[in-house]
Amino acid sequence: MELIEICYQDEDVMVCVKPPRVLSTDEPGGLPELLRIQLSDPGADLRTVHRLDRVVGGLMVLARSPQAASELSRQVREGLFRKTYWAVLHGVPDRNADTLEDLLGRDKARKMTYVATAPGKGIQPASLSYELLGRNGDSSLVRIQLHTGRTHQIRVQLASRGFPLWGERKYSTLDDPCEIALFSQEIGFLHPGTGKEMTFSHVPPSGFPWSGFQQP
């Protein structure tokens, strides 16, 4: 098993880089279980307080006590938990920076999110901001700040505008030879024990399709 990079840990939290194709939740093969195996500590208290899609890699924080989990979960609910992603898109947006707002619904039978045309039962507002970091031919590298946390939000909002992510299998018909190019690049939160503001960032994967971009 490939070692999971641990960026920071103390008695309250652990910050690590989730590999793609690993579940965020505490179940067989999930991130907490893999960390317990890596640490040779089957009883380690590691609690998921936010999630990344299974196919998405990048920074996550895990709570190491019930009290820490409660406080971090509160920050997530109240919008105090900051999440920034980098992504590689097919196509180049017209604007170098913009805020995208949609109404999103969830097709539970197909396990897919969709853009709704009107409010209704189960329809929720979704908002994100992006900044164009670079372009490489007909592809673009963007930084994304989430303002809401809907399932598959980034993937759906961008694909619906004609900019599917490289490696997207669910919301694109393109057959890209790579994992999905979406990475949790930065997270920020208040330490559940001390109240200190903490920010962690990490470079995205190297190589295709993340390389070769020029500033716009």
Mean pLDDT of the chain: 96
Let me know if residue 206 belongs to a domain: no
On the question of pLDDT at 216 being above 90, the answer is no
Query: In this structure, what DSSP letter does residue 169 have?
Result: S
Q: What is the pLDDT of residues 94-114, one digit of tens each?
A: 999 999 999 999 999 999 999
According to the model, what pLDDT value does residue 162 have? 97
Q: Is residue 214 part of a domain?
A: no
Domain-embedded: residue 213: no
Q: Which residue type occupies 29?
A: G
Query: Residue 8, exposed/middle/buried by CB under 10 A (0-12, 13-18, 19+)?
Result: exposed
Summarised one tens digit per residue, pLDDT across range 182-212 is 999 999 999 999 999 999 999 998 899 999 9
Q: Are strands 182-190 and 57-63 parallel, antiparallel or unpaired?
A: parallel
**In this model, does residue 15 exceed pLDDT 80?**
yes
Segments forming the whole domain that contains residue 78? 6-201
**56-78 pLDDT per residue, tens:** 999 999 999 999 999 999 999 99
Q: Does residue 211 belong to any structural domain of this protein?
A: no
Where residue 119 falls among pLDDT bands split at 50, 70, 90?
Answer: very high
Give the chain's length.
216
Residue 131 lies in a domain: yes
Rounded to whole angstroms, how far apart are CA atoms 203 and 91? Answer: 22
Catalytically active residues, by annotation: 53
Query: What is d(CA 26, CA 52) in angstroms, rounded to the nearest whole number?
Result: 13
Query: How far, in Å, CA of 160 to CA of 102, rounded?
Result: 10
Residue 157 identity (one-letter amino acid): Q
* pLDDT score of 1 more than 70: no
Does residue 184 belong to any structural domain of this protein? yes
Looking up residue 23, the CATH number of its domain turns out to be 3.30.2350.10
Q: How is residue 95 written in tokens?
A: 């604007």
> What pLDDT is attached to residue 2?
80
Residue 107 lies in a domain: yes
> pLDDT for 144-189, tens place per residue?
999 999 999 999 999 999 999 999 999 999 999 999 999 999 999 9
Q: State the DSSP code for 96.
A: S
Structure tokens at 186: 């930065």
Structural domains of the chain, count: 1
